[in-house]
């Protein structure tokens, strides 16, 4: 290696890489962001390989359990009733309908099913009870379950926990500074409070954001600083690229260059070494080689679909077959469920069916991994 190149390369390495830290500064993260792309990717890939099986990618399925007519004004969203988009509102789905989609997803290799509702937040009503039933039924398939229902209280988080929910998604979406340009009907602090409510339970936290909404690079980095400096890193960090939706105020924004996505993934990977980083909305606009670069940079999850879209038809997604072919081509395999240190969540109703579905023969856990849950449940999640 040429001496200058070598010195440059060594300067990119940090002996703190791979540590789980909660003291990130924006200055440090700006320095990461300025690295030559391939140095950044190499560094992120090293952190990734030290903390994960780099041959694995978790495939997730989003189900829009209640679509559209949302009172919020999120400027990117096809489901806000304030904008006229192609999305037709539909009421809350029946449990069986959700279960059918989840079963097909599992057959296609999906190990995490995320149920999303176009609500400002959950209400203590019959609809919420139905969501709890969905969680229990989908859990019984032996896949991870995630809900994204908007704002939730501590007691609603506790009820989701009791039902056996694996994860709750609530994205920060962007930096605290830029947030007011995108959403005015709820505050950044409201989002942080929902995440704190989830943290009071055994349910893991899924939180990330969107790039390409007109924010500056510093806003992207500040969002990652907020996520990484929480007392615990979110176990799951979705990185979305804006899917421009006709009829929304953000429909005319320019494309996000692919290298911006790679940078965002790589920085998230370095800052939150153990989290699952999910290459989420916007993936369908990326070539196979661009996606491969994201996997190299530390993305270890994608959303796939049988319908060619993510939550709504306004946000396209590659389908199960295309994704299987891509993973095969790259020599990647499907990540099994519950590898993030969590245990299979049975809820109280379906434990036996669940254990069966997931291939476990025991009915109790000593918190040391004997339940097959990789030792993370502390014996407290179930039974």
Structure tokens at 306: 């049988």
**Token representation of residue 278:** 């999910």
- Comparing CB distances to ligand SAM, the nearer of 215 and 358 is 215
Give catalytic residue positions. 70, 74, 77, 114, 146, 206, 278
Output 45 or 310, the one with its CB closest to ligand SAM.
Answer: 310
CB of residue 118 to ligand SF4, shortest distance in Å: 4
37-51 and 288-296 helices cross at what angle (nearest 10)? 60
Indicate which of ligand SF4, ligand SAM, none lies near residue 243 (CB less than 5 to 8 Å, by partner kind).
Answer: ligand SAM
3-state secondary structure of 324: helix
If one asks whether residue 70 binds ligand SF4 (CB under 6 A), the answer comes out as yes
Should residue 243 be labelled a site residue for ligand SF4 when binding is judged by CB under 6 A? no
Q: Is the dihedral of CA 294, 295, 299, 301 positive or negative?
A: positive
Q: Tell me which of ligand SAM, ligand SF4, none is bound by residue 210, counting a contact when its beta carbon lies within the kind-specific cut-off of 5 to 8 angstroms.
A: ligand SAM
**Site for ligand SF4 contains 74 (CB under 6 A):** yes
Q: Dihedrals φ, ψ of 40, to 5°?
A: -60, -45
Radius of gyration for the chain, computed over Cα atoms and rounded to the nearest angstrom: 20
In sequence order, the β-bridge partners of residue 64 are 116
DSSP per-residue string spanning 356-377: HHTT---S---SSSTTSSTT-S
Q: Does 234 bind ligand SAM (CB under 6 A)?
A: no
Provide the mask over 132-161, with x wherever binding to ligand SAM is found by CB under 6 A and - wherever it is not.
Answer: ----------------x-x-----------
Cβ proximity to ligand SF4, 66 vs 269, nearer residue? 66
Query: CB under 5 to 8 A by kind: which of ligand SAM, ligand SF4, none does 80 bind?
Result: ligand SF4
**Residue 223 in contact with ligand SAM, rule: CB under 6 A:** no
Strands 301-303 and 204-206, sheet pairing? unpaired
DSSP state of 173: B
Q: Quick one: how many helices (H) and strands (E) in the chain?
A: 13, 10
Alpha carbons 242 and 182: distance in angstroms, whole number:
12
Looking at residue 76, the DSSP 8-state letter turns out to be T
Question: Is residue 76 a contact point for ligand SAM (CB under 6 A)?
Answer: yes
Geometric angle at alpha carbon 5, from 288 and 14, rounded to 5° = 80
Q: Give yes or no for residue 173 binding ligand SAM (CB under 6 A).
A: yes
For the bound state, the minimum distance from the C-beta of residue 250 to ligand SAM, rounded and expressed in Å, comes to: 8
| Segment near ligand SF4 (CB under 6 A); pick from 17-25, 34-42, 74-82, 88-96 | 74-82
Q: Contact positions toward ligand SAM, by CB under 6 A?
A: 76-77, 79, 116, 118-119, 148, 150, 170-171, 173, 210, 240, 242-243, 245, 281, 311, 315
Q: Contact positions toward ligand SF4, by CB under 6 A?
A: 70, 72, 74, 77, 79-80, 118, 120, 150
């Amino acid at each position: 290696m040429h001496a200058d190149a070598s010195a440059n390369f060594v300067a990119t390495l940090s002996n703190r890489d791979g540590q789980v830290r909660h003291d990130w500064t924006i200055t440090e993260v700006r320095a990461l962001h300025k690295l030559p792309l391939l140095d950044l990717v190499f560094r992120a890939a090293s952190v990734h390989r030290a903390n994960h099986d780099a041959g694995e990618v978790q495939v997730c399925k989003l189900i829009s359990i209640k679509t559209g007519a949302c009172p919020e004004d999120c400027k990117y969203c096809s489901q806000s009733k304030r904008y006229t988009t192609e999305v037709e509102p539909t009421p809350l789905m029946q449990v069986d309908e959700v279960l059918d989609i989840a079963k097909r997803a599992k057959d296609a290799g999906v190990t995490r099913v995320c149920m999303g509702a176009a609500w400002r937040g959950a209400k203590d009503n019959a609809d919420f009870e139905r969501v709890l039933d969905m969680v229990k039924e989908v859990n019984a398939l032996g896949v991870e379950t995630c809900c994204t229902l908007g704002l939730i209280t501590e007691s609603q988080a506790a009820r989701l926990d009791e039902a056996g929910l694996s994860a709750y998604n609530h994205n920060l979406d962007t930096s605290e500074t830029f947030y007011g340009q995108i959403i005015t009907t709820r505050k950044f602090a409201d989002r942080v409070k929902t995440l704190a409510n989830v943290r009071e339970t055994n349910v893991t936290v899924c939180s990330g954001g969107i790039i390409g909404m007109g924010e500056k690079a510093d806003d992207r980095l500040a969002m990652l600083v907020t996520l990484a400096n929480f007392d615990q890193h979110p176990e799951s960090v979705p990185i979305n690229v804006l899917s421009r939706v006709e009829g929304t105020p953000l429909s005319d924004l320019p494309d996000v260059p692919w290298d911006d996505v790679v940078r965002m993934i790589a920085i998230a990977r370095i800052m939150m070494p153990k989290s699952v980083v999910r290459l989420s909305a916007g993936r369908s606009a990326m070539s196979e080689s661009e996606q491969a670069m994201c996997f190299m940079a530390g993305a270890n999850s994608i959303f796939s679909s049988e319908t060619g879209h993510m939550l709504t038809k306004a946000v396209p997604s590659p389908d199960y077959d295309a994704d299987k072919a891509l993973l095969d081509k790259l020599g990647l395999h499907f990540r099994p469920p519950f590898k993030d240190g969590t245990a299979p969540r049975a809820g109280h109703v379906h434990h036996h069916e669940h254990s069966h579905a997931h291939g476990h023969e025991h009915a109790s856990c000593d918190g040391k991994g004997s339940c097959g849950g990789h030792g993370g449940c502390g014996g407290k999640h179930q039974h």
